[in-house]
């Protein structure tokens, strides 16, 4: 990412050559989107950040650009930091709990838009990243996920290397210890999700309790625009009963459902009258569900695939 050392082959020859600028931008789009989504936790906001970055890229003079990739990563990182700084006030006024916007990572879909589908796009980690300052979040992601060196990050964010190291240590204290140590295989995760859904659908509380960890947490996000819990709930018995009640209400709406990979794990997308109504995913470890995430805010469901035909 070092703007002073990378080969500039393919760099646009003049700022007026929009088609060349666009081609270079598209070459790095998946990386830029991957950074922006992890920074912002929103598909829509990530796309806005890329649009803003492209405008600045198109208007930049050639003399400013030694490495197109480094230049673009710098722009996107700074746009995201600015957005997060202004978004904190909005988050404080958000109705209920805020969850990341579900990202479809199904290989059958448009998964190519994001680099490296791993735990760094999981609902759990994206929620943990909310504890960080915008600068801590940027340093943590660029170093831990995208393997940039401190010197490269410092250049991109206009920081000193010492400041980068300090920000990274603080971020790791907040995040690393709480990160999942390993992820359940996809088939095992899918089987657990299906058994859980069957038990919930039949109202079998005892069966549900065998599938939930004792300190399981349930997180929901309606944004004040759809049904959701005001605050997260925890505890196997309480979560099991809320899930059974919620699924009964959902099925009464005559929903259609499909299984889609969401944020790296299988999940259920429910549709009512041809529109996405909710996304349901779980975090699993050691054969038990440790967290449940339900997003019903319609503004966060617009990028989901269509209902089954």
pLDDT tens track for 224-256: 999 999 999 999 999 999 999 999 999 999 999
The Cα 118–Cα 123 span in angstroms is 11
pLDDT tens track for 252-262: 999 999 999 99
pLDDT of 62 reads: 73
Most confident of the ranges 105-109, 182-186, 272-276, 282-286 = 272-276
Token pair, residue 212, equals 């939930």
Contact 183, 119 (CB under 8 A): yes
pLDDT tens track for 33-81: 999 999 999 999 999 999 999 999 998 877 677 889 999 999 999 999 9
pLDDT of 240 reads: 97
State the pLDDT confidence band at 182, using cuts at 50, 70 and 90: low
State the pLDDT confidence band at 286, using cuts at 50, 70 and 90: confident
Q: Once rounded to an integer, what is the mean pLDDT over residues 137-155? A: 95
pLDDT of 54 reads: 95
Counting beta carbons within 10 angstroms of the beta carbon of residue 249, is it exposed (0 to 12), middle (13 to 18) or buried (19 or more)? exposed
The Cα 220–Cα 129 span in angstroms is 17
The Cα 204–Cα 206 span in angstroms is 6
């Amino acid at each position: 990412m070092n703007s002073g050392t990378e080969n500039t082959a393919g760099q646009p020859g003049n700022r007026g050559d929009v088609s060349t600028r666009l081609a270079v931008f598209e070459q790095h789009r998946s990386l830029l989107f991957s950074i922006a989504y992890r920074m912002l936790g929103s598909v829509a906001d990530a796309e806005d950040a890329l649009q803003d970055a492209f405008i600045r890229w198109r208007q930049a003079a050639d003399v400013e650009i030694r490495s197109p990739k480094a230049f673009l990563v710098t722009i996107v990182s700074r746009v995201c930091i600015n957005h997060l700084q202004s978004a904190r006030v909005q988050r404080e006024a958000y109705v209920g709990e805020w969850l990341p916007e579900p990202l479809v990572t199904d290989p059958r879909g448009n998964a190519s838009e994001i680099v490296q589908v791993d735990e760094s796009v999981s609902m759990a980690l994206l929620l943990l990243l909310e504890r960080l300052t915008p600068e801590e979040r940027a340093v943590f992601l660029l170093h831990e996920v995208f393997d940039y060196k401190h010197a490269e990050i410092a250049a991109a964010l206009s920081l000193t290397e010492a400041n980068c190291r300090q920000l990274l240590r603080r971020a790791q204290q907040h995040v690393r210890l709480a990160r999942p140590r390993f992820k359940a295989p996809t088939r095992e995760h899918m089987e657990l999700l299906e058994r859980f859904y069957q038990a919930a659908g039949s109202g079998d509380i005892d069966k549900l309790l065998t599938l939930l960890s004792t300190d399981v947490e349930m997180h929901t996000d309606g944004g004040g625009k759809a049904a959701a819990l005001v605050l997260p709930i925890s505890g196997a018995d309480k979560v099991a009963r809320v899930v059974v009640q919620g699924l009964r209400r959902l099925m009464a709406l005559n929903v259609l459902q499909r299984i889609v990979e969401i944020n790296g794990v299988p999940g259920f997308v429910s549709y009512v009258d041809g529109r996405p109504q909710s996304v349901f995913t779980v975090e699993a470890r050691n054969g038990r569900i440790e967290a449940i995430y339900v997003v019903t805010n319609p503004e966060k469901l617009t990028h989901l695939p269509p209902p089954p035909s």
